[in-house]
Chains A and B, each alone.
Chain A
Amino acid sequence: MDHIVDTRRGRNDRTLMPGGQAFITETRSAAREAGITLFDVTDPDQGIVHVISPELGIVLPGCTLIAPDSHTCTQGAFGALAWGIGSSEAEHALATGVLRLSRPKTLRVTFTGALSPGVTAKDMILTLIARHGAGGGKGHVVEFAGETVTALDMEARMTLCNMATEFSAMTGIVAPDEKTFAWLEGRRYAPAGELRAQAVKHWQPLHTDEGAQFDAEIVIDASSIEPMVSWGTSPEHSIGISGTVPSGAPERALLYIGLETGQRLAGTPIDAAFIGSCTNSRLSDLRRAAALLKGRRVAPGVKALCVPGSMHVKRAAEAEGLDAIFEQAGFEWRESGCSMCFYAGGESFAPGSRVISSTNRNFEGRQGPNIRTHIASPEVVAASAIAGCIADPRELRS
């Protein structure tokens, strides 16, 4: 229960999305009939599937995990083979317990060096997609490797793997390590006690052998990455925040987004700011945004929302007082769900709005008819909300 649920306070089965309530009630009765556990609208564990599955220890290293949602690749961060499928394949999996697939090709993306302050996993994946294209992954399983990836915490690894689908990869994966095992300890569905000891022993060797051959390799110097922001209508239309709209940009994308070749992105006025989605709605994302928002105010006229990825994230953030920071800054503080990452006829921004968003897709109409989306990290969203225009979070820090 994530895409369709309402995220306004006091929610129930009613949603602004046409047909949404029927979807919720039919899913509930079908789950009950089939004996499938459902994290329902009012469940304390409710949230975006790719946030709650790791939270509850459902995804584990070495497991095969599928869901009828393209961002299932998020969970490759745990060293699972996790990928998105369509409804027919979901039906196949439920009916047979397996899927039919051909062995995918492999691509290793190695990040070297340290990230500069204010640069995040979101900027790493946007850099990869900007340099190699939204089709660059071409159905491969992408292993994210290298010292930069190893240094990322689990939540950042999830952000990195989340957008493997925006690279047209089958999925992304990170080799599980001690950080992974520690993160899973004590989670409800993760093995405990003797079983955990046995499992960890099984998980430890789950990494690529030295000298293994991949079908393709990409190496990126992570120290050269700056905060990224999209200028067009595909995630491949992304540049460093100090950059300008490149020459040769497709006219159709420029027409939709209302920018011109050579124009600086920083300083472009925005109408709204959104923090949320399976890409960037976890506790660490909210903490980093709150650190910038603390004691500051959203610029007048900017509609700003924060939608935690799960009710667990929401409660943890509230326990730290993050909700107060967001609200005092002028952000709405919502119940968890996918919310305005996409538009399904329910809630949207004002017509024609330019939105800075911590989400994963800047397609035409993704957040509503004629809504112009710029995707970026939670830091860039927070800094831009304060400035009232696309802004570099590093300038706020100093």
Chain B
Amino acid sequence: MKLQARQGLGILLLLAGLGLAACGGDSSQGSQAAENGIQAGSSNYPVATITILTHSRPGGGSDVFLRELSRYLAPELGANIIVKNVTGGSGASALAELARAEPDGATFYATTPTFIYTSLLARPAYTYEEVDPLVNLFIDPELIYTAADSQFETLDDVLEKARNSRGLWGAANPASLERQSLEQLKLATGINNAAVISHEGGGDLMINVLNGTLDIGVGEAQELQSQLEAGNLRVLATFSDQRLAEFPEVPTVYELGHQVIVRKFRGLAAPQGLSPELIQRWEAAIQTVLEHPEYKASYLADNLRPNFIAHAEYQEFINAFASETRDYLRTVGIVE
């Protein structure tokens, strides 16, 4: 029917991919790490292959993001990039693997708030303090949304209901940034009569917003995209520091007078002791890649917002984020 030749090509590629996995298998780089192989041109990068670790499963948020990124980053750095999924221990396994790796520019880790949470909630062998935050790439906006047929037109309507009767607010997971953002909103607005109900992931949450069980939910733009386009959901506010290009009419929580800003970051971390030359090299490469027109079109379509933070400031950013999170977890009594 359609595109049959290309489908035939597809299967060849698939078989070739399996073959590649076979070759990589015994040299400790299995096929869980896909070969995004764009071979280096003229390169003087110290290693031929860079491995970026993620605690995300194949197909998960960070995984999809990294594989897309590495397609553009590899030629820029002049080395192959492999994405390796080190699941388990809620990020602790990946963190441990990074902390134990040599700082030779061959191993990196994709940071998300998860690695801070795990460091604070449990006592993993290595915490965020034993690795070096390298650069930040994106900050995903967290949106407050409600069902399109609900009575709430603005965030104030929601807060009003919570003041007058009882608010039912939903977060995707019990110990997550989304949960934290809603709890902080409660603190900032002085509302006590709102139950923040956590779910088993964003999908579970969205169903309960769609069927009217909950007043509002908090989620990333990417998760909401299809329901927003179908007109089943309405965005009331964003937790970002400024209004979003895709939703220019949606106010930030901050400008509505509640001092809560949430930064769900996506960046990279390295083992401690990476040489200044390599750090500079990565800073330059990431900046170039973020401007790459094709990549830009791709990540903007995925609702990722570029927010480059250089190495010098990223350390502070992560530490500030961690201490804010630690304060929050202590205030609400989750950790001592």
Q: Answer yes or no: do A and B interact.
A: no
